[in-house]
Structure 1
Amino acid sequence: MNSTTQSPDRKIVLVTGASGGIGEATTRNLAAAGHQVVLGARRVDRLDRLVTELTEAGHRAESAQLDVTDRDSVNAFVAGALERHGRVDVLVNNAGVMPLGLMEELRVDEWDQMIDVNLRGVLHGIAGVLPSMRERRSGHIINVASTAAHRVDPTGVVYCATKFAVRAVSEGLRQETADLRVTVVSPGLTKTELTHSGGNPEQQNTVRSALEAVGIDASAIAQAIGYAIAQPADVNVNEVIVQGTAQL
């Protein structure tokens, strides 16, 4: 069934950061719901395994290597999907990093990394899909922020700043057009690999301990994303905040 005759409920969905955590869970959820998922991430081996698993289960999935900090990489990712399917219905901007530490530690390279992945990567994704969505006057951009976009913790100042910015960009884009849907999904403590690289080891361990105590499974965030996508075209879910019942 080609893209011009498929069911209107089946969407072409691009997911960044799809090789693990929330991105992987979202991919599984949307593929099971019947959507065509296009996975992007740097860890191609993981993408290949996930695509194989999903296609063997009868779902529609494909992947491409993607570095959201590289505008050309993002544009190629989007262009490939447009060439194969004729449109992009949904972009899930999920890729993110979270190396924690106090400002006085001057982890400037990690600050730059968070800005590049968490904010610039989101902007690259928006720039990649926006022209074709505006031309079709249809589309949905979902940006994964965080409960850290609603509060500031001293060990995550720059991370919080990038997520505050994602909320601001999302709200501005939502107000800019009546044709497209824009959703922010803000997860609380979620059991992913986000704390497994970089940052102050003590602070990263503290967060990992909190995840074990009150963290929720990434599938809960995937379900929230699926809910937003499933709404009628004239209904926009502006923001969903999802966290564990025990998280303060």
Structure 2
Amino acid sequence: MTSPPTKIVLITGASSGIGEATARRLAADGHHVMLGARRVDRLAALVDELRAAGGSADHQELDVTSRDSVAAFVSGAHDRHGRIDVLVNNAGVMALSTLDALRTDEWDQMIDVNLRGTLHGIAAALPLMRARGKGHIITIGSSAAYRVDPTAAVYCATKYAVRALAEGLRQESRDVRMTLVSPGYTHSELTERGGDPQIRAAARAASDELGMPASAVADAIAYAIAQPDTVDVNEIVMRSTAQG
């Protein structure tokens, strides 16, 4: 007889990279994972794979830049399962360029996905968790929230802001746990789209050479989730040893 899922976990940006790796790890741990992203075909294939391996999973189309889309994603999971234990705010974009390139549409996109998307997740999940008296919001930050590199000023700014949000929510909370996971170079699709083509190629080469597997970040997330409700893992900063 199959045991009931340990926790109901919602993951944004789950169609690739850290989100996909987290879905795999948490489903293997016995949690029910609710996956959200825009690429529904990838989500459906991943859910089929997880279920075939004995995991519990579902998916829903999600655009984190839309407050209504995030609210529907969270409330839909809550209606089906009666609770939400964990929200993993993972969706993110990184379009690298110098500021004088004035790629303002990409600036807006990073603000909308990385910052507003995180806020939309908090706005949707926090009231439900507070009403229940427990919950856990995990936000994927970046080592870019601790330094600023040329060509990454706007991306770093969004991650600095996300770090501030996480710390603010932690200080405001006694019943809802808040964990910020900030990885360095990670093997993912983050460096494959947007930004200046030459800078993007250099970032991709650095990620290939210095990056850690997305599964390492998923392991860190699993560790934070596994702690008792009285223990809040506030912040995890992690890099491959090759990155230094």
With the length of structure 1 as denominator, give the TM-score of the two structures.
0.96
- Residue 184 of structure 1 is matched in structure 2 by 180
2:141 pairs with 1:145: yes
Q: Which runs of 5+ in 1 are unaligned?
A: none
Structure 1 residue matching 2:195: 3-state secondary structure = coil
* Whole-angstrom CA distance in 2 between matches of 1:6 and 1:223: 22
2:107 pairs with 1:111: yes
Q: CA deviation at 1:6?
A: 4.3
- Residue 228 of structure 1 is matched in structure 2 by 224
- Residue 88 of structure 1 is matched in structure 2 by 84
- Residue 19 of structure 1 is matched in structure 2 by 15
2:145 pairs with 1:165: no
Aligned alpha-carbon RMSD (Å): 1.3
* Whole-angstrom CA distance in 1 between matches of 2:173 and 2:184: 29
* Whole-angstrom CA distance in 1 between matches of 2:50 and 2:66: 27
**Percent identity for Structure 1 against Structure 2:** 64
- Residue 243 of structure 2 is matched in structure 1 by 247
- Residue 205 of structure 1 is matched in structure 2 by 201
* Whole-angstrom CA distance in 1 between matches of 2:242 and 2:195: 25
Q: How many residues align?
A: 244
Q: CA deviation at 1:177?
A: 1.5
Deviation per residue, 1:65-113 (Å, 9 max, x gap): 0000000000000111011100100000000000100000001000000
With the length of structure 2 as denominator, give the TM-score of the two structures.
0.98
* Whole-angstrom CA distance in 1 between matches of 2:123 and 2:27: 25
Q: Which of 126, 130, 135 is the matching residue for 2:126? A: 130
Q: Which of 74, 87, 92 is the matching residue for 2:70? A: 74
- Residue 50 of structure 1 is matched in structure 2 by 46
* Whole-angstrom CA distance in 2 between matches of 1:213 and 1:25: 20
Q: CA deviation at 1:58?
A: 1.0
Q: CA deviation at 1:212?
A: 1.7
Amino acid across the alignment from 2:63 = D
Amino acid across the alignment from 1:157 = A
* Whole-angstrom CA distance in 1 between matches of 2:128 and 2:207: 39
Structure 2 residue matching 1:197: 3-state secondary structure = coil
Structure 2 residue matching 1:190: 3-state secondary structure = coil
Structure 2 residue matching 1:194: 3-state secondary structure = coil
* Whole-angstrom CA distance in 2 between matches of 1:55 and 1:209: 34
Q: Which runs of 5+ in 2 are unaligned?
A: none
2:41 pairs with 1:30: no
Amino acid across the alignment from 2:109 = Q
Deviation per residue, 1:165-192 (Å, 9 max, x gap): 0010000001102111000000100010
